[in-house]
Amino acid sequence: RVRDSEANFANLALHDGLTQLPNRALARQRMDAAIVQGREQGAMVVVLFIDVDDFKTINDSLGHSVGDEFLQHVAKRLGAAVRDGDTVSRQGGDEFLVVLPDIRDLNAVSAIANQILQSISLPIEVRGMQLLTSASIGIAVFPHDGSEYESVLKCADLALYQAKDAGRNTFRFFDTTMNANLLEHVQ
**Which residues are known to be catalytic?**
94
Q: Are 55 and 67 in contact (CB under 8 A)?
A: yes
- Reduce the DSSP state of residue 29 to 3 states and report it: helix
Give, rounded to a whole angstrom, the gap between the first and last alpha carbons of the chain: 58
Query: Are 138 and 158 within 8 A, CB to CB?
Result: yes
If phi over 0 gives left and psi between -120 and 50 gives alpha, with beta otherwise, what is residue 126?
A: beta
